[in-house]
Amino acid sequence: MKQLAIGTALVLLLTLSACTTTTVDEYRENDISLTLGSSERVVVLGRRHYADYETEPDFIDCIGEKLNADKVVAVLPERQFVDLLYPWFEPRTAPLGLKRLAKMLDEPMIARRFKEQGLRYMIWIDGSTETTERDGSVSCAIGPGGGGCFGFATWEKTGTYEAIIWDLQTLDESGRVKVEARGSSYMVAIILPIPIIAQVQDQACDGIGRQLRSFFMGNRARETTAQTP
Amino acid sequence: MKARVFITPLLVLCGLLASACSTKLEVVGNFPPALTAKLPLRTIVVFEPDFASYRFDSTVGKEVSVAVGQIQVELFTGLAANLFQHSSTASNMPNDGPADLILVPRVEDVQISMPNESQLKVFEVWIKYNLQLFDSNHEPVADWIMTAYGKTPTRFLKSDTEALQQASMVALRDAGAHFITGFARVPEIQQWLRQRPTSAQTTNASSQP
């Protein structure tokens, strides 16, 4: 009985995750939802030109999955897009503004490739998740009789991201979403280390992904309402 | 027999310890075809043995050895095929042959920065190329110093080898991007292209009575 209780406590501890606070700010050019035809797609790209950080590729994949969750918004994967447009969307060559993109699209070959892929919107994600504070320590030792860890450590992570939506047809900005997620993780070690991890990046992805989807979903909801008699 | 029982694990342990202190890799990967208009030029890319087997070795601090020779050959072969109407490769300077331009890429310098050296959470790779261009008479056209940079953030449980492979691939892609977007912007090349009669002009001139 006692063993079962200890086992349950351990499992509970392992499945625990620390709290994360997420703040989402949104800016829209107007109240109208973004239109996306059945053959049109969206591409989500990360900014990689800064020296000290770069937007994580797995974060970009996560946002793509959130957008495409119920097959409403078709997303062209970042890697595929960058390879199809090589060398125009490498960290050194990617357009930082709409003016530069417009100039790029004056090149018929590039414009044709965009059209072939049915690209309607480009979403740029800029930001990263960093460890902002760290405290405590855990030390482990191993000897002939066995080993174990002892101590307590805590660290705080902050994920700050901004998404900017570019309309590739009108070549203007359709909206912005800013998200800040913050969470503290803990590691308690009494013989066995038990981590309680705050899913900061996942929460930021969830926040930004849900908000970006609302840019497109409003339109879909209106279409559905219009179709019902 | 007893000694062999101890020697084998000892050798394995020594090997493991030695490999733990060094990072050795041969960069491998693929590059996508470049989306660019082809220049009406016939080129020969000369891959000298030093370039084709280039390996960067650093013994300062942690031992690092990165072989980029083969992947560079693949990169420049692809770039030339994408940027020029006709391209071929050679291992030394051709004496004669139908070429408007001869390109000889050389590695001037490679620098690698690891998180334990820079205190930054990134692996970085710099490659400095000297792209020498000659016309059909082997007269120099341009000496183009081209730099490439690649970085990859550190990731939980990612090995140094894997991180350096990624950073090197980013640097090589950057070299490709610089080559394609910058080729016609190099002043000497620009001037040479302007002075040189185009194939169409040559054809028109020869077809005129």
CA quadruple A163, A168, A172, A174: dihedral positive or negative?
negative
- CATH code of B39-196, in short, is 3.40.50.10610
pLDDT at position A14: 53
- Cβ neighbors of A79 (< 8 A, separation 6 or more) are A57
Higher pLDDT, residue B12 or A56: A56
pLDDT digit string, tens, across residues A5-52: 666 665 555 555 678 888 888 777 777 788 888 889 999 999 988 877
Domain count along chain A: 1
Residue type, B141: V
- Cβ neighbors of A157 (< 8 A, separation 6 or more) are A129, A130, A131, A132, A182, A183, A184, A185, A198, A200, A201
Q: With H, G, I as helix, E, B as strand and everything else as coil, classify residue A82.
A: helix
Q: DSSP states of B5-58 as a string?
A: HHHHHHHHHHHHHHHHTEEEEE-----PPP--PPEEEEEEEE--HHHHT-EEEE
Look up tokens 């909206």; give the residue.
A175
Question: Could you give phi then psi for residue B174, rounded to 5 degrees?
Answer: -65, -40
Q: Are B177 and A110 an interchain contact pair (Cβ–Cβ within 8 Å)?
A: no
- Each as own residue / partner, the long-range contacts of residues A129-135 (CB below 8 Å, 24 or more positions apart, any chain) are A129/A56, A129/A59, A129/A157, A129/A158, A129/A159, A129/A181, A129/A200, A129/A201, A129/A204, A130/A53, A130/A157, A130/A158, A130/A159, A131/A155, A131/A156, A131/A157, A132/A156, A132/A157, A132/A158
CB B78 within 8 A of CB B105: no
pLDDT at position A226: 42
Residue B18 in tokens: 């030695």
Q: Which residues is A22 bridged to in the sheet? A: A181
Written as tens digits, the pLDDT of chain A (229 aa) is: 566 666 666 555 555 567 888 888 877 777 778 888 888 999 999 998 887 788 999 999 999 999 988 888 999 999 999 999 999 999 989 999 999 999 999 999 999 999 999 999 999 999 999 888 899 999 999 888 888 999 999 999 999 999 999 999 999 999 999 999 999 999 999 989 899 888 999 999 999 999 999 888 765 544 444 444 4
- In a domain, residue A175? The reply is yes
CB B135 within 8 A of CB B104: no
Residue type, A114: F
Distance CA B34, CA B183 (A): 13
- In a domain, residue A229? The reply is no
- Cβ neighbors of A132 (< 8 A, separation 6 or more) are A156, A157, A158
pLDDT digit string, tens, across residues B100-128: 999 999 999 999 988 877 777 788 999 99
A90 in B contact zone (CB under 8 Å): yes
Distance CA B83, CA B181 (A): 10
A93 in B contact zone (CB under 8 Å): yes
Higher pLDDT, residue B2 or A58: A58
- Cβ neighbors of A146 (< 8 A, separation 6 or more) are none
- In a domain, residue A196? The reply is yes
pLDDT at position B4: 58
pLDDT digit string, tens, across residues B134-155: 998 899 999 999 999 998 876 6
pLDDT at position A22: 84
What is the edge-to-edge ordering of all strands in the sheet holding B63-67? B22-26, B63-67, B55-58
Q: Are A91 and B153 an interchain contact pair (Cβ–Cβ within 8 Å)?
A: no
For residue B15, give how far its alpha carbon lies from the nearest alpha carbon of chain A (Å).
22
Distance CA A185, CA A188 (A): 10
pLDDT at position A225: 44
Distance CA B12, CA A225 (A): 70
Q: Cβ-count burial of A182 within 10 angstroms (0-12 exposed, 13-18 middle, 19+ buried)? A: buried
Q: Which of B30, B35, B113, B180 to mutate to test the interface with A (most CBs of A within 10 A)?
A: B35
Q: What is the mean pLDDT of residues B165-181?
A: 95
Task: Please give the interface size between A and B, counted as residue pairs whose CB atoms are below 8 Å apart.
Answer: 45
Is ipTM over 0.85?
A: no
Tell me the residue range of the domain where A34 lies: 16-224
pLDDT at position B180: 96
Terminal CA-CA length for chain A: 61
Share of chain B above pLDDT 70, in %: 80
pLDDT at position B94: 87
Q: Are A86 and B174 an interchain contact pair (Cβ–Cβ within 8 Å)?
A: no
B68 pLDDT exceeds 90?
A: yes
Distance CA A117, CA A106 (A): 17
Residue-averaged pLDDT of chain B:
84
For residue B137, give how far its alpha carbon lies from the nearest alpha carbon of chain A (Å).
32
pLDDT at position B208: 36
We report the CATH number of the domain holding residue A216 as 3.30.160
Distance CA A101, CA A166 (A): 10
B6 pLDDT exceeds 60?
A: no
| Predicted confidence band of residue B160 (pLDDT cuts 50, 70, 90) | confident
For residue A54, give how far its alpha carbon lies from the nearest alpha carbon of chain B (Å).
8
What is the edge-to-edge ordering of all strands in the sheet holding A119-143? A20-28, A172-196, A146-167, A119-143, A41-46, A75-76
A28 in B contact zone (CB under 8 Å): no
CB B154 within 8 A of CB B114: no
Angle at which helix B160-182 crosses helix B69-83, to 10 degrees, equals 30
pLDDT at position B201: 45
pLDDT at position A33: 81
- In a domain, residue A144? The reply is yes
HSE (CB half, 13 Å, CA atoms) of B184?
12
Q: Which helix (H) or strand (E) holds A13?
A: helix A2-15
pLDDT digit string, tens, across residues B22-65: 788 999 999 999 999 999 999 999 999 999 999 998 877 778 89
Q: With H, G, I as helix, E, B as strand and everything else as coil, classify residue B142.
A: strand
CB A61 within 8 A of CB A213: no
The pTM score is 0.82
